Amino acid sequence: MKPAQGVIAPQGLRTGRTVLDVARIREDFPILKQQVHGKPLVYFDNAATSQKPQVVIDTLNRYYATENANIHRGIHFLSELATAEYEETRNKVKRFLNASESREIVFVRGTTEGINLVAQSYGRRFFKEGDEVVISAMEHHSNIVPWQMLCEQVGARLRVIPMNHDGELLLDEYERLLGARTKLVSVAHVSNALGTINPIGRIIESAHRRNIPVLVDGAQAAPHMKVDVQELDCDFYAFSGHKLFGPTGIGVLYGKARHLEAMPPYQGGGDMISLVTFEKTHYNIIPYKFEAGTPHIAGVIGLGAAIDYVSGIGLDAVAAYEGEVLAYATAQLSTIQGLRIIGRAKEKASVLSFVLEGVHPHDIGTVLDREGVAIRAGHHCAMPVMQRFGVPATARASFAFYNTGEEVDVLVRAVRKVLKVFG
């Protein structure tokens, strides 16, 4: 990368031995051809949700047009077809995360529901008064509030791993938090507000030395890097389909089989039972025990198409390319006077949070929008992070593999325009 040139070669950036043909990749995403307010769309809000390739859109369409049926019950052609596709996606997710068995893959609505499931099922079964759950100072609200709710229900306590001013967790402090009362550790793999890649391998190792299970919030990691749950040895891993170029309303909770088997159901209803009488209900085996009611079948099958698509590009190539886009954007934005980047961890992925002296992020967002640049402005559902850095909100640009150096240049020009308006 040569920042001086002002662009990253958009037609093919060489990352090691892999070439990411971004111009061709962009052809796969119909929404990227759009104009907003008369300007070409520059979509830098990928941490909120990602755009969908045509193959995912076509898969949803095909499912509803030719395969729609309920699963696990119909003795007819369509139902068998839909069931096969649904269960095949479970296998795809298993391979995607390198889980050891497909029954360790539970379909949920998203990361939030995955965490709530563990808090309410695992937490209420195994937590007692005085027990502790350890989270970090950079968690999304969805990895804070479910634990606060559990704490209130069982009289447990929330402990928080602090971070330094660059947005890196203080691991020595973390070690000190772990004790006989710690029942679970739940941390983000990648911070949605700061972009920090947390050293979850080490975090898991430390917890496991004390037999403490670990849940990883993978919402911001799964779309940007290879995840191997066996190598990490995490106990639970949750991610959302819509951030991984798939449909909204579908996500995954991975859990080690022995945990899932020991946990009570999260919700009651159809599909999660094996036998029901008014006296007693026998629950189904995992993962079905956790999939009450007709699931988001189209969403699951669409997620399968998204996983195929991303795997076809290769997450190692994605990570390398996005790393260069992030480095280039960081260098370019840093040249703007009065701009401060929030989150300067050594290990970062795809998120660039910043503030401008004298201009509220909300106003930055509005001016950028009129230049066609979509970013997020606000607290990013991580209000404690904002408090930690003493800002009410930040502007956040977040990248995907279809973004280019030219788009970063548009962002930088638009930020300069903000300064002109508020100068």
Partner 1 sequence: MSELSELYQEVILDHNKSPRNFHRLADANRRAEGYNPLCGDQITVYVKVEDDVIKEISFEGSGCAISKASASMMTDSLKGRTTAEAEALFDRVHKMLKGEVNPGDDSHDLGKLAVLSGVCHFPARVKCASLSWHTLRTALKREKEVASTE
Question: To the nearest 5 percent, what fractions of the chain are helix, strand and coil?
Answer: 45, 20, 35
Cβ neighbours of residue 190 closer than 8 Å, sequence gap 6 or more: 196, 197, 198, 218, 220, 221, 224, 225, 349, 350, 351
Tell whether the torsion through CA atoms of 92, 94, 100 and 101 is positive or negative. negative
Beta strands in 55-97 (DSSP E): none
Residue selected from 138, 359, 385, 408 as contacting partner 1 according to rule CB under 8 A: 359
Residue with tokens 């076809």: 312
Q: Is position 378 an interface residue for partner 1 (rule: CB under 8 A)?
A: yes
Q: Pick between residue 138 and residue 301 the one whose CB is nearest to partner 1.
A: 138
Which listed range, 187-195, 245-253, 365-373, 407-415, lies at the site for partner 1 (CB under 8 A)? 365-373
Q: Pick between residue 26 and residue 360 the one whose CB is nearest to partner 1.
A: 360
Q: Is position 33 an interface residue for partner 1 (rule: CB under 8 A)?
A: no
We find the least distance from the C-beta atom of residue 39 to partner 1, in angstroms, to be 12
Q: Pick between residue 301 and residue 351 the one whose CB is nearest to partner 1.
A: 351
Closest alpha carbon to 298 in 27, 122, 133, 82? 82
Q: Is position 374 an interface residue for partner 1 (rule: CB under 8 A)?
A: no
Which listed range, 248-256, 331-339, 379-387, 398-406, lies at the site for partner 1 (CB under 8 A)? 379-387
Q: Pick between residue 299 and residue 378 the one whose CB is nearest to partner 1.
A: 378
Q: Is position 413 an interface residue for partner 1 (rule: CB under 8 A)?
A: no
Asked if 162 contacts 191 with a C-beta cutoff of 8 angstroms, the reply is no
Asked if 98 contacts 104 with a C-beta cutoff of 8 angstroms, the reply is no
Active site residues: 381
Q: Pick between residue 72 and residue 360 the one whose CB is nearest to partner 1.
A: 360
Q: Is position 363 an interface residue for partner 1 (rule: CB under 8 A)?
A: yes
Residue selected from 361, 402, 412, 414 as contacting partner 1 according to rule CB under 8 A: 361
Length of the chain: 423
Which listed range, 158-166, 271-279, 370-378, 396-404, lies at the site for partner 1 (CB under 8 A)? 370-378
Question: In the range 120-139, which residues lie near partner 1 by CB under 8 A?
Answer: none
Structure tokens that stand for 414 in this block: 């638009």
Q: Is position 352 an interface residue for partner 1 (rule: CB under 8 A)?
A: no
Q: DSSP H helical segments within 253-404, as ranges?
A: 257-262, 297-313, 315-334, 361-370, 383-389
We find the least distance from the C-beta atom of residue 360 to partner 1, in angstroms, to be 4
Looking at residue 47, its amino acid is A
Give the Cα separation of 331 and 307 in Å (integer): 32
Which listed range, 106-114, 188-196, 291-299, 385-393, lies at the site for partner 1 (CB under 8 A)? 385-393
Residue selected from 393, 397, 408, 414 as contacting partner 1 according to rule CB under 8 A: 393
Q: Is position 367 an interface residue for partner 1 (rule: CB under 8 A)?
A: yes
Residue selected from 24, 165, 176, 362 as contacting partner 1 according to rule CB under 8 A: 362
Which listed range, 272-280, 296-304, 333-341, 378-386, lies at the site for partner 1 (CB under 8 A)? 378-386
Closest alpha carbon to 185 in 123, 120, 274? 123
We find the least distance from the C-beta atom of residue 367 to partner 1, in angstroms, to be 7
Give the Cα separation of 109 and 367 in Å (integer): 34
Burial pattern 170-179, b for ≥16 Cβ within 10 A else e, equals eeeebeebbe
Residue with tokens 């099958």: 301
Give the Cα separation of 323 and 326 in Å (integer): 5
Q: Kindly state the number of chain residues that form the binding site for partner 1, as judged by CB under 8 A.
A: 17
Residue selected from 377, 395, 408, 411 as contacting partner 1 according to rule CB under 8 A: 377
Q: Is position 360 an interface residue for partner 1 (rule: CB under 8 A)?
A: yes
Q: Is position 379 an interface residue for partner 1 (rule: CB under 8 A)?
A: yes
Q: Pick between residue 253 and residue 386 the one whose CB is nearest to partner 1.
A: 386
Q: Is position 216 an interface residue for partner 1 (rule: CB under 8 A)?
A: no
Q: Is position 389 an interface residue for partner 1 (rule: CB under 8 A)?
A: no
Residue with tokens 């969805």: 142
Q: Is position 310 an interface residue for partner 1 (rule: CB under 8 A)?
A: no
3-state SS, residue 288: helix
Asked if 336 contacts 184 with a C-beta cutoff of 8 angstroms, the reply is no
Q: Is position 386 an interface residue for partner 1 (rule: CB under 8 A)?
A: yes
DSSP code for 285: P
We find the least distance from the C-beta atom of residue 418 to partner 1, in angstroms, to be 10
Closest alpha carbon to 140 in 188, 174, 184? 188
Contacts with partner 1, residue ranges (CB under 8 A): 359-363, 366-367, 370, 377-379, 383, 386, 392-393, 421-422
